[in-house]
Structure 1
Amino acid sequence: MAMNLTRRKMIFLVGGGAVLAAGGAFGYTATRMPQTAYLPWQRAGGYEDLRMRALSWALLAPNPHNRQPWLADVSEDDVITLHVDTDRLLPYTDPFNRQIVIGLGCFLELLRMAAAEEGHRADMTLFPLGSSATALDQRPIARITLTADPAVKRDPLFALVPARRSNKEPFDMSRPLAPDMLTQMAAAASNGTRFGGTVDPAETAELRALTREALRIEVETLHTYQESVDLFRIGRQEVDANPDGIDFSGPLFETMHLTGMFSREMAADPTSFAFKSGMDAVYANADTAMGHVWLVTADNSRETQLATGADWLRVNLAATALGLGFQPLSQALQEFPEMAGPYDQVHERLAPDGGTVQMLSRIGYGPVVGNSPRWPLESRIMNA
């Protein structure tokens, strides 16, 4: 079975870039979607133990490359001890584990919100046994005690959790964004980070160019791109077996995989149709940004990285409330040597007075997209 697809009609995801596959009419042999990978979204909150209910919401948090690097120890009554799964790090694109810690911060904030929804305060001791500035290890990330508290306030952003997405498709360039949207997103950041944003066409164009160049470097640097390719999950069986990483499911990708038109090997070959189409996709996303938002911090401690994650989740939820598509484009913030040029440029532009630019995202109006796969909660409990 053959499909007549041009480069512009076949697009796929690489390193946080876009996912879209479209073409004319074609026959296909596989129509089933993954059967278990999306179940955690349906099961959130459906546990008897309060800790498990809070954790079942927390695991829906955004995180780099969808690695879901969290492990929870619930062996102590009324306590959750959060660890990082050191098998789920990104050593090439995130050599100091900064982005992983930000993802853990998103997890902790969503856990806090879920507990508050049920009238409980989540008291957190961060890095109770200390931490390293250069690498994560087996020491706990946080110790969380849940305590009933009638004074705890429910967070209005929590209602948006089921609808939150990272939108990895091109945005509508015919729909400009209102500047007051930035004010509303800025109000959601309440954990000490400095929110920044722009919807100015000239500034947006400059950031499009900067993020495009950073994407090019990540993809054209062999070891950083291979890190993404190794996390490709192609077809429903792979997604169900490993519901993390970069999801390529649905009838078109199933058929392309079965007919030998798409594989990890092809995607890794810079001379292939798949690689060249992937570059088109990456650029299409960067080039359709209708605005950008970012977070800057005065220091870059592990605790500050966790606070960044909390605010990043909140800004993403605020964008969801506004009906905006939201996709991190943080390649220019990565600390591997080949990215030094864009890294310096983005800091000169977005943090001219000093500090660390922790996160950067494009915003705009985009199509409705589905959930990301998730591991079941039970697989993330250390002592289950």
Structure 2
Amino acid sequence: MSKRKVKKTMAIIFSCVGALLIITFVSLFIISGIFKQPKYLEPWQKNYSQKFDDPRIRLAAHGLLSANGHNMQPWKIRLDKKNPMVFYLYADSERLTSEVDPFARQMMATQGTFLEYVNIAGDELGYQTAIELFPEGDYNEQSLSESMKTKPVARITLTKTNPKSSPLYDFMFLPDTNRAAYQPTKLTSEQIDQLENINVDAGLSIQIFQDKENMNKLNGYAIQGANIEAGVSRVMKESEIIFRANEYQKNKYRYGFSVEGQGTSGIMRHLMQGLVTLFPSMNSGKAASDMFIQSTRTSVDNTPAYALIIAKGNDRSSQVKSGMIYSKLILTAHRLGFVMQPLSQVLEEYPEMKEPYSSIHSDYASDGGTIQMLVRLGEPIKEVPQSMRRDVMDLIVMD
């Protein structure tokens, strides 16, 4: 074959390969849903709550943005029919993650994060919010799921007042969790004081650690917890079930996990979504476990400080209040230029986690308290995208 024919043949081959690559990339983008409008991000818009006339729904639309376990958004709202300034928050028992959170402690903290966002938004919108926890009594712990359906976590009573600007309000519209690497910069003593001295309940405390000894110890707990969790198939399966592979699924469900939570954004997000949709095994089984462990190691290796939220007790009210404090901690950290990520696997209460759970409590809550949150804290290296949120009207119970 002549050199000219060889060159022509090679040109045809390269042209075909190039065309095939283009078709492959375009196909992945289409499968990802690149042209779909992300309705699941609408609640993050500052004017979203303004669509609603009822102040209770407007405040609930702000609560919807708060941090929550597994991004399940397990909230239900019942509007008082007789008093237009009263509404009730219920824990949505159909959104329990029973494998990872068998005693619903994280579920209760998630109720608290919601309430604190409502509280802060109330100031900004001109409503004083009086929050009464468990106004109809405690849950029946022997029939917890059913009890959640009938007994509210809180009654919120609004009183119209003059709006007052909250220094934390604007930070509610930022993602609550950043899983990327952080700058190595340590916090100043003044910054630590501001975080540890957030207006906390008498039974709660915030402790910041950034010294070498405690960093090594807490890094070890974070890795140990991730390794154990990655090896418990039923827990990993629970997360796998709520993974949303593409834009179509994210718009349909509007809760759960997605590739953004793994730090993927931009064009790579759509490529990854297309691949995971075509090959679900990329995000399940051993692949998911390995990815989780590696992600935790990257987080631990790029963390300058940790924060612990510790409660003297572990009753339901204490759990809710710990969530309220967590919201304040997140927003105050944002105001200071920091971001956060929970690394609380070691605090989970399923049998396989018993040993490290006991050990970390012996080290950091030896007086009998309960560590409600363990989070990494630092200056971000990059911004991360916002996560899915449900339409606030999906939270409203119509009866």
TM-score under structure 1 length normalisation: 0.86
Distance 2:171 2:295 in 1: 28
Distance 1:211 1:278, change over 3 A: closer
Question: 179-188 vs 84-93, which deviates more?
Answer: 179-188
User: How well do the aligned residues superpose, as a CA RMSD in angstroms?
Assistant: 2.4
Distance 1:129 1:182, change over 3 A: same
1:243 alignment partner in structure 2 = 254
1:254 alignment partner in structure 2 = 270
Question: 160-169 vs 59-68, which deviates more?
Answer: 160-169
Question: 334-343 vs 36-45, which deviates more?
Answer: 36-45
Letter in 2 for 1:184: Q
Distance 2:111 2:297 in 1: 28
Q: 1:114 aligns with which of 94, 105, 121?
A: 121
Give 1:152-301 correspondences, 5 Å limit.
155-173=166-184, 175-192=185-202, 193-248=204-259, 251-259=267-275, 263-270=279-286, 272=287, 275-301=289-315
Contact conserved, 2:344 with 2:373, CA < 8 A, in 1?
Answer: yes
Q: 1:375 aligns with which of 374, 383, 390?
A: 390
Letter in 2 for 1:269: G
Letter in 1 for 2:49: G
Distance 1:303 1:199 in 2: 30
Contact conserved, 1:105 with 1:308, CA < 8 A, in 2?
Answer: yes
Q: 1:45 aligns with which of 44, 49, 63?
A: 49
Deviations 1:258-297 (CA, angstroms, capped at 9, x unpaired): 3468754443322x4x543443122211332211001111
Q: 1:313 aligns with which of 305, 309, 327?
A: 327
How far apart are 1:353 and its partner, in Å? 2.0
3-state SS of the aligned residue for 2:377? Answer: strand
Distance 1:196 1:95, change over 3 A: same
3-state SS of the aligned residue for 1:156? Answer: coil
Q: Does 1:129 align with 2:136?
A: yes
2:66 alignment partner in structure 1 = 61
Q: Does 1:144 align with 2:159?
A: no
Letter in 2 for 1:95: P
Give 1:322-337 correspondences, 5 Å limit.
322-337=336-351
3-state SS of the aligned residue for 1:326? Answer: strand
Q: Percent identity?
A: 27
Distance 2:56 2:339 in 1: 31
Letter in 1 for 2:385: G
Distance 2:276 2:66 in 1: 34
3-state SS of the aligned residue for 2:49? Answer: coil
Distance 1:84 1:264, change over 3 A: farther
How far apart are 1:121 and its partner, in Å? 1.7
How far apart are 1:75 and its partner, in Å? 4.2
Unaligned runs of 5+ in 2: 1-15, 18-23
Contact conserved, 1:197 with 1:291, CA < 8 A, in 2?
Answer: yes
